[in-house]
Amino acid sequence: METLMQKVSATPTFAKIAPSIVPRLDKAVHRLSGGKFMLSQWMLPSLFLTTTGRKSGEPRTTPLACMPREDGTFLVVGSNFGRTSHPAWTGNLLADAEATVEHRGRTSAVRARMLEGDEREAAWSALLRMWPPYAQYQARVERQIRVFQLEPRGD
C-alpha cells in the first residue's frame, strides 16, 4: 500500500521543490544531531555520499536514499526527483568512481559502478519495491535514470 509520502513524492510539484529543500533539511538535521540522524531516513534508508567534483575537484557531499544490500554494497538512484537532468553527483561518479559513504555513523571508502543491462533491470525492480515513486520519476523524463552500486574498497 502506497503511503501518503510516496503519493506526494510522485507529484511534479514535489519534483520542483524537493531538490532545494530536502538536501538542506537532511544536512541540517544531520549536523544538529551530531551526525546521528537524517530527516530522510524516516522514509527510506539514507546515506551521505561524498564525491569529487568533476569540474572543481572539491569534495561534494549529497544526502541520498539508498538500498543497503546483504553483501555490504549500496544501491543509489540518480532520480533527481524526476527532473529532466541527471543529478550532478552521478556525473561526478562517472568522472571518478572513488567516493566515501557515511551510513549509520560509519564512514567507508567505496567505488561506484553504474549498472547497465540485466543487472540494472534487476536492481531497478528491487528499488521499485522499496520506493514505488521511482516509477513516476522515470515516466516523467526521457533520460534513463542512472543506478549505481557502491562497493566497499579494500584499500
Q: What is the pLDDT of residues 52-90, one digit of tens each?
A: 999 999 999 999 999 999 999 999 999 998 889 999 999
pLDDT number for residue 1: 42
pLDDT digits (tens, 9 = 90+) for 90-138: 999 999 999 999 998 899 999 999 999 999 999 999 999 998 999 999 9
Query: How confident is the model at residue 149, as a pLDDT?
Result: 99
Q: Which residues contact 123 (CB under 8 A, 6 or more apart)?
A: 75, 115, 147, 149
Asked if residue 12 has pLDDT above 90, the reply is no
- What's the confidence (pLDDT) of residue 110? 99
Parent domain of 141: 4-152
Mean per-residue pLDDT, 23-36: 64
**How many domains is the chain partitioned into structurally?**
1
CATH code for the domain in which residue 62 is found: 2.30.110.10
* Bridge partners, 68 (sequence order): 74
Q: What residues form DSSP beta bridges with 147?
A: 77
Which sign does the torsion angle of CA 36, 42, 8, 80 carry? Answer: positive
Other CB atoms within 10 A of residue 127 CB: 22
